[in-house]
Amino acid sequence: MSTQIKIAHIITRLIIGGAQENTLSTVIGLMGNPDYSVSLITGPGIGPEGSMEANARKAGVKIIVLPLMRRAINIMYDSIVFVQLLLLFKREKFHIVHTHSSKAGILGRLAAYCARVPVIIHTIHGLPFHPYENKYKNWFYIKLEKICAKLSHKIITVSDTMRDKALQEKIGTPSLYQTIYSGMNIKPFINAPQLRKEMREQLNIKDSDLIIGKIARLFHLKGHDFVLECAPEIIRRVPDARFLFIGDGILKTDLDTQIKQLKLEEHFIFTGLVPPDTIPSLTACMDLLVHTSLREGLARALPQAMAAGVPVVTFDIDSAHEVVQNGINGYLIPSGDKDAFIEKVVSILTNPVLRQKLSRESQKAVLPRFDADYMVQEIATTYQELL
């Protein structure tokens, strides 16, 4: 019999996104340890965000796709997936089941408990309950999370803020939690400034253009509409300002329409869906990154931009303050405050000395906390402590 420790990671969808990149980086990192045999269980990568499944298979990841595991609640589908997971866990006899995202976190932990898996771990990348959700759904999500916390041996959060919000709702106890920041391959971002000129030429960006970047799905609550509302005044005060929106989603047509109504077409660039490995060079094009999502665990775009030496302006929500030090390596502003947003964006774009100061301080805040190797080692240590 094999003496390897068998580990199953489960995520609802392997789309292009922060939680998925975190999970895939963890799986690939653990695969480098000969003591581990790692599988990745996921639903189909359905959605305009694009799928990471091909990249995962190329990296040699053993993937098990459950076609009926979907993000939306569906009692029939979810019941079938629960049974599939239960039978899979009993057959494969995993030593550790490590779940990610809300749907996979609930079904995966329930099935792992029923299958008597020795170690059950869940990572909170972002909480399913939030002020913009229906109160009855929030009550339902919190109830499920409380139940599943009792089945978990450890809950990993990507920030202290996620831990504190969960504890405020009496989900588990403090000793159950451990913060491990979401790691990534940080070196391409550190080296990204070398690619700035080439990528700006590809996008037809002039040397005089000042680029305000935003990396996010074109989706509700991501804050693109807020940026559009502020754009006319920013452009009036900084005529060379241009906005670079990286990502795709269901709001593309609506955003296009709004930009045409404002007659600002020449000031906006949409990249559409891009492979994750192009994000460093696209980030290098920017003079400033803005993050205006209304809910987020800890947006990977923030440490990515900071590693590339790009200043950031972000809403002061959730975990942003754990990486951005206001006035030192970027700016935190109240959520939805247009005047503060415009003022900070304009001040950075019009003050090269300030941009350089913020840039110098940015890289210091991300290492080693956001390095993938560091994250994987922290997770592996947790595994060993629980076995």
Distances (CA, A) of 258 to 19, 89, 129, 228: 30, 49, 30, 8
Closest CA to 318 of 164, 104, 185: 164
CA distance 90 to 88: 5
What are the tokens at 268? 């906006």
Residue 1: predicted pLDDT: 41
Grade residue 380 by pLDDT with cuts at 50, 70 and 90: very high
Find out whether 107 and 85 touch, Cβ atoms under 8 Å.
yes
Q: What is the residue range of 171's domain?
A: 5-183+371-386
Claim to verify: residue 141 and residue 199 sit in the same structural domain: no
Q: Is the same domain home to 215 and 166?
A: no
Q: Residues 331, 272: one domain?
A: yes
CA atoms within 13 A on the CB side of 246: 26
316/304 Cα distance (integer angstroms): 17
Residues 144, 174 share a domain: yes
323-368 per-position pLDDT tens digit:
999 999 999 999 999 999 999 999 999 999 999 999 989 888 888 8
| Tens digits of residue pLDDT in 143-173 | 999 999 999 999 999 999 999 999 999 999 9
pLDDT of residue 26: 96
- Helix H segments across the chain? 18-31, 53-58, 75-92, 102-114, 135-151, 160-168, 187-190, 196-202, 224-237, 252-261, 279-284, 301-307, 338-350, 352-362, 372-386
Share of the chain above pLDDT 70, in %: 99
Same structural domain for residues 123 and 211?
no
What amino acid occupies position 15? Answer: I
At residue 316, φ and ψ (nearest 5 deg) are -85, 70
Do 137 and 192 belong together in one domain?
A: no
Q: How far apart are CA 258 and CA 260, in angstroms?
A: 5
Residues 343 and 376 occupy one common structural domain:
no
Are 79 and 113 part of one and the same domain?
yes
Which candidate, 234, 366, 220, 339, places its Cα nearest to that of 288?
Answer: 234
Q: Are residues 285 and 228 in the same domain?
A: yes
The confidence score (pLDDT) of residue 276 equals 84
Closest to 70 measured CA to CA, from 11, 112, 19, 126 = 11
* CA distances for 152 relative to 82, 125, 234, 385, angstroms: 17, 16, 48, 14
Residue 304 has what pLDDT?
94
Q: What is the pLDDT of residues 6-48, one digit of tens each?
A: 999 999 999 888 889 999 999 999 999 999 999 999 999 877 7
Q: Which of 228-237, 343-352, 367-376 has the least mean pLDDT?
A: 367-376
Side-by-side strand order, sheet with 36-43: 62-65, 36-43, 5-13, 96-100, 119-124, 154-157, 177-179
What's the gap between Cα 337 and its chain centre?
23
pLDDT, residue 2, reads 55
Instruction: Say yes or no: 223 and 326 in one domain.
Output: yes
Q: Would you say 224 and 218 are in contact if contact means Cβ atoms under 8 Å apart?
A: yes
**Do 247 and 263 fall within a single domain?**
yes
How many residues would you count in the chain? 387
Q: Which residue carries 């559409």 as its tokens?
A: 272
Lowest mean pLDDT among 9-23, 226-240, 255-269: 9-23
Residue 178 shares a structural domain with residue 191: no
Q: pLDDT tens across 194-214, in order?
A: 999 999 999 999 999 999 999
Say if CB 359 and CB 189 are below 8 A apart.
no
Q: Are strands 96-100 and 119-124 parallel, antiparallel or unpaired?
A: parallel
CATH number at residue 351: 3.40.50.2000
Q: Mean per-residue pLDDT for 86-92?
A: 97
pLDDT at position 92 over 90: yes
Residue 95's pLDDT band, with cuts at 50, 70 and 90, is very high
**Is the separation of the CB atoms in 365 and 329 below 8 Å?**
yes
**Tally of domains in the chain:** 2
Residues 281-322 pLDDT 10s: 999 999 999 999 988 778 889 999 999 999 999 999 888 999
